[in-house]
Structure 1
């Protein structure tokens, strides 16, 4: 009966990991009910953040400036300033500031530079306060929970592979059935975590996802904000490095 201690280890580790993930998910989405009541309308920048985080906000701003002929996005992956006047909103000024006085910069450098600016952080803070976005700490805890469940699944699989050859052939069906329990539990938790994060990733709470689902994608910029660069023409996808 040497396989029983192995099964107990797999079961305990799986139970702890699944409980950790469930608690993290519930805590991270605790503001959803309040957000549903006072969520209000979303700006394009807010929609972009909920759907794809700070990187999506940067992509939306770059494409918007390109379409307004303030910026040229080349298929080579470089952004060139066409109109460097002080007009535009905070995000556009953040892009121009990140490009710098040279008037050119690679998009791969602009994305993290703009994503870390104060105006993008204000968008996140406002959405979190309204219960529409998951706080950064909540995202980290959910990600850690998913890693723990993934580790528990692999551990149960490995222990099961070790246990099966240790028992007589007549008992192997029972051993496989025993290890199927932690494998099924951790597999279902991973599947639920993946379903919860699609299609908008870890940024939006349930209330935020509800508002995103109500947005029409007929406007090209709204489609970009909610669905990402996949809706763009090939040249712009290449410019953003997403082709």
Structure 2
């Protein structure tokens, strides 16, 4: 009856994962409701058009805000982004606090690797204030809250795979008198059905599993209207929503794709 121990283990995996998913989904919905009820920003203001930086944050978080700022300055020829991964300041006068954060992150020498600049800008006070404002407006989820549902879904998927593996192991065990293999398979089908049912419900009830944007923020992102082809605003909006993969220029894209190599003697 060793297969019974495997069955209990399968139920433990499935039950724990599904319980966590249900709790995190309820918690996420509660957080969104609480934010909407306690925000001091009127509902009409939450339906306003998003700025470029707000769209970037809701789509990809602080790092996306840094990317959009760098790309915007590079397109205006006020910042040089080399395909080797270096950023050079051309115009040291930032037009807003995000651009000033970029210039400050590059440093007084006016040149720095792009990777550390992105990291510094993502943690700058200007980005933190932007995030706080979006949370108060009910457009962004509090820090860390958006990761829990996605992590719970991944745990349920892993539990389903574990149930399948345990069931196959039980079926491969030597035949025991009085226990048909079909019956063993049916017992393992129960925790598997539970896991798959939770995944299906999560797909329709709490999908997409956004890390940064609340449901209200996701709706605003879905209403973003791109300008005519080739329009600068449209280009930057695409970068804000899709990230650096939306960049068409090979050299500019290479600047973000470049990775530092170990020093060689």
Residue 124 of structure 2 corresponds to: 117
Which residue of structure 2 aligns with residue 180 of structure 1? 189
When residues 26 and 204 of structure 1 are mapped into structure 2, their CA distance, relative to the original with a 3 A threshold, is: farther
Residue 128 (1) aligns with residue 135 (2): yes
1: distance between equivalents of 2:11 and 2:223? 41
Give runs of ≥4 in structure 1 deviating > 6 Å: none
The CA RMSD measured in Å over matched residues stands at 2.9
Aligned residues: 240
| 1:100 paired residue number | 107
Q: CA deviation at 1:184?
A: 4.4
Deviates more, 1:8-17 or 1:96-105: 8-17
| Higher-Rg member (1/2) | 2
> Are the counterparts in 2 of residues 73 and 236 from structure 1 also a CA contact under 8 Å?
yes
Assess if the C-alpha contact under 8 Å between 1:14 and 1:185 holds in 2: yes
**Contact 1:75 1:236 (C-alpha < 8 Å) held by counterparts:** yes
**Could you tell me whether the CA contact under 8 Å between 1:29 and 1:205 is conserved in 2?**
no
**What does 1:40-189 correspond to in 2, within 5 Å?**
40-41=47-48, 42-85=50-93, 87-142=94-149, 144-146=151-153, 148-166=155-173, 168=175, 171-187=180-196, 189=198
Partners in 2 of 1:118 and 1:190 — Cα distance? Answer: 38
Counterparts of 2:190 and 2:226, CA distance in 1: 43
- Structure ranking higher in helix proportion: 1
- TM-score between the two structures when normalised by the length of structure 1: 0.85
Hey, what does 2:220 align to over in structure 1? 211
For residues 29 and 65 of structure 2, what CA distance do their matches in structure 1 show?
Answer: 22
Q: Is the 8 A contact 2:84 2:258 kept in 1?
A: no
Residues 23 and 106 of structure 1, relative CA distance in 2, 3 Å threshold: same
Unaligned segments of structure 1, at least 5 residues: none
SS of 1:216's equivalent?
coil
Give distance in 2, aligned partners of 1:136 and 1:80: 32
Cα deviation code 1:29-72 (max 9, x no counterpart): 43545289452321111110111111111110001111122101
* Alignment check: 8 A CA contact 1:21 1:146 kept: yes
Equivalence for 1:28:
28
The question of whether the paired residues in 1 share the 8 Å contact of 2:145 and 2:211 is answered with no
Q: Distance in 1 between matches of 2:183 and 2:23?
A: 32
1:110-163: CA deviations, max 9, x gaps?
Answer: 111110111111111122222221222313533552453344234323322321
Compute the TM-score of the two structures, normalised by the length of structure 2: 0.79
Match of 1:15 in 2: 15
